[in-house]
Amino acid sequence: MRTSKSVKMLLLLAPLAGVVLVGTTASGSTPSDQGSALPPEKAQIQAVEQQWQDRLQANAADPEAKAAALAAKQADQAQRAQAMVAEVPAKWPEGIFADGEAPAPGSEFLGTNRWVGTLAGNSVAVYAGRAGENESTGRLMIQYARPDMGISSSRFVDLPGSGALRITSASGTTLTIADANLVRHTFDVVSSGWK
């Protein structure tokens, strides 16, 4: 099957313009026409993509109209991509992490591990370890994220005489923390206090 001159031109220009083309078969149908059902989101994206393809083909004979259609398509794709990113809330990766690095000077805090979760819709991190100036004082460092993922505030919570602390498990925003003597303590992230 011979490809028309306008389609060849579109295929050549697409990579330069950053255009994503929907694949077609030799019969001109899209893969979704081949009997496989697509999720509604993908079907909607493919339908919009097909509308743009039809518009580009209709303007193929007029270079100015085609260039305007390509520019409009790029703007539409950028707008849809921004909308998709805006729908996904930004969060720090969640869970218990074994790394001891913490965003604090060693003179104030030496970490053993950390927990990251969500509090009031924003990310929160609790770093476990000890005070930098006194190895017998267990210390937690709590950092709260702003909606833009920057740090809104930090604070320390001490447990004198415990030695270095380690987070062993989490249930929601309640953390189980073992001290240097393997004594278990419970910390409530919401109230930032020991239970």
Say if residues 192 and 142 touch (Cβ distance below 8 Å): yes
Q: What domain range includes position 112? A: 95-194
Q: How far apart are CA 177 and CA 186, in angstroms?
A: 6
99 lies in the same domain as 190: yes
Residues 189 and 112 in one domain: yes
Residue 86 C-beta-side C-alpha neighbours within 13 Å: 6
How many domains are there within the chain? Answer: 2
Residue 28 has pLDDT above 60, yes or no: no
* Secondary structure of residue 186 in the 3-state scheme: strand
Indicate whether 89 pLDDT > 70.
no
| pLDDT reading at 16 higher than 60 | no
Mean per-residue pLDDT over the chain, rounded = 77
* pLDDT tens per residue across span 90-137: 677 899 999 888 888 999 999 999 999 998 888 999 999 999 999 999
3-class secondary structure, 25: coil
pTM of this prediction?
Answer: 0.54
pLDDT of residue 133: 93
Q: What CA–CA distance (Å, rounded) separates 12 from 16?
A: 8
Final residue belonging to a domain, choices 87, 112, 138: 87
